[in-house]
Homo-oligomer: A and B are copies of this chain.
């Protein structure tokens, strides 16, 4: 199977398949037909067959999909079979919420450091990690081979911190600051712009 050929549209749908398959797996279900999965996920069975045909060999006529195998295969495509080292920058409520979220750890995203410029937050323990001052960020990233930085700081500081992160050869930024970060092409930025999500909700509400 050549994962490179899977379209972006399918990729976008994979996390949802992964979630449903994970729940089926946890319930001890070994096989599921595309019809059953279709009813569960409220997606057409033909869409499911088309999407999951990319993962050849797991779906068979009259047999259905092997839940565990399909789950593992999607995990591999999503890169969840590898582990990642993260730092969280910004130990405010959002940073703390993300740092406390055990499911990230379960999926191989290990938060090794949490940083903040506020002296009142420095030294605070969040799960097993003590919040460190921003001055220590650069050395920490270099010494600990950090892959991913999570940015939960205001947009004014985010632009400047992103520059530092690029200098430290960070590979990816999960950006919650409401700003577009300018980074080289080989640095991945995944934005979570909460205000834009709320505006979409507001738009849909105004159309009802």
- Chain A residues with CB under 8 Å of chain B are 4, 11-12, 14-16, 18-19, 41-42, 77-80, 82, 84, 92-94, 96-98, 100-101, 103-104, 107, 109, 147-148, 171-172, 174, 178, 180, 186, 188, 190, 192-208
> B208, A18: Cβ atoms under 8 Å?
no
What residue in chain B is nearest A196 (Cβ atoms)? Answer: B15
What residue in chain B is nearest A94 (Cβ atoms)? Answer: B97
> A205, B97: Cβ atoms under 8 Å?
no
Number of copies: 2
What are 7 A-to-B residue pairs whose CB atoms are below 8 Å?
A: A19-B178, A41-B180, A82-B206, A107-B199, A172-B201, A188-B204, A190-B200
CA distance A103 to B196 in the complex (A): 12
With A93-B94, A192-B197 known, 18 other A-B pairs at CB within 8 A are A4-B207, A12-B200, A14-B199, A15-B199, A15-B200, A77-B203, A79-B203, A79-B205, A84-B205, A94-B94, A98-B194, A103-B195, A109-B198, A109-B202, A147-B205, A148-B205, A188-B208, A192-B192
> B78, A199: Cβ atoms under 8 Å?
yes
> B208, A171: Cβ atoms under 8 Å?
yes
CA distance A206 to B199 in the complex (A): 31
Partner of A192, one of B15, B174, B180, B194: B194
Contacts of A109 in B (CB 8 A): 198, 202
What residue in chain B is nearest A194 (Cβ atoms)? Answer: B192
